[in-house]
Amino acid sequence: MSEEQKMVKAFIMGEAYDVPEGSTIIMAMEYAGFQMKRGVGCREGFCGACATVYREKGDYKLKGGLACQTVVTDGMTLAQIPFVPAEKPIYDIKELTPDIDTIKTLFPTIFRCVACNTCTKACPQEIKVMDYVQALKRGDIGRAADLSFDCIRCGLCALRCPSEIVQYNAATLAQRLYGRYLNKKSPELEERIVEVENGKYEKELDELVEMPREEQSKRYYAREIKLK
């Protein structure tokens, strides 16, 4: 490492470490010698495995973020939360109806929401968590599914919720209900499924499987994208 590299002090899991300025939390932890076996996944902000809570120097607020995206600042105190305990109801989607009665049965805690908006403030994806919870309370499954679409299930919303709601599991239910019962069917999709089942694309798929990775990448980025 260059001698000109500026260092900052971070308190990781209660211990002080000097880490390179500009590092993400994951990069800083690895620099400090942590072997990342848990609390790390895709490193791109999509898997939700690296949920972290932290406070910055001089700021009393407890914040949440993803370790793969959040940059360490001097004096930051942080701890990773690789798993948030949450009971998930077991159900058969074919036996459910897309309405408020299903929400009442499977997620009664939703109706304990006090609209404090702490869940939204905790979300590293800036999802309007409280808004989709309110939509679920009204039985608006479509609205809840739409607002929660980008959820990566990191669990930070549930961790901070004073009403002890497991928002992300309720969002998953809303998305499943919407996909099965409320989403408009695409005739083009149905046609393509039939084509796949009939083996129309097997030759092209075999060609892609045997193709060198560099050529795969080249074709991917050179493909024609039709925007409507």
Which tens digits make up the pLDDT trace of 18-33? 999 999 999 999 999 9
Distance in angstroms (rounded) separating the CA atoms of residues 131 and 120: 8
What average pLDDT score do residues 137-165 get? 96
- Are residues 103 and 178 both part of a single domain? yes
Model confidence at 107, pLDDT cuts 50, 70, 90, reads very high
Q: Which tokens go with 7?
A: 């260092």
Question: Quick one: average pLDDT of 49-73?
Answer: 95
Give the model's confidence band at 92: pLDDT under 50 very low, under 70 low, under 90 confident, else very high.
very high
Residue pair 170/139 in contact by the 8 Å Cβ criterion: no
133 vs 38 pLDDT, higher one: 133
Q: What's the rounded Cα separation, in Å, for the pair 62 and 78?
A: 10
Please give the average per-residue pLDDT across 5-21, as a whole number. 96
Phi and psi at residue 41, in whole multiples of 5°?
Answer: -150, -100
Residues 155 and 100 in one domain: yes
Query: Is residue 208 assigned to a domain?
Result: no
> Residue 121 and residue 142: Cα distance in Å, rounded?
23
Same domain for 64 and 17: yes
The answer to whether 148 and 166 are in contact (CB under 8 A) is: no
Would you state the structure tokens that stand for residue 158, as one six-digit string?
A: 């549930």
**What does pLDDT average to over the chain?**
93
Question: Which of 80, 105, 133 marks a domain boundary?
Answer: 80
Q: pLDDT tens digits for 184-220? A: 888 899 999 999 999 999 999 999 999 999 999 999 8
Return the structure tokens found at 182. Answer: 């409320």
State mean pLDDT over 45-60.
Answer: 93
Q: Structure pTM?
A: 0.79
Domain count, the chain: 2
Residue 55 pairs in a beta bridge with: 77
Residue 127's domain comprises 93-182
Residue 151 lies inside a defined structural domain of this protein? yes
Burial of 117: CB neighbours in 10 Å, binned 0-12, 13-18, 19+: middle
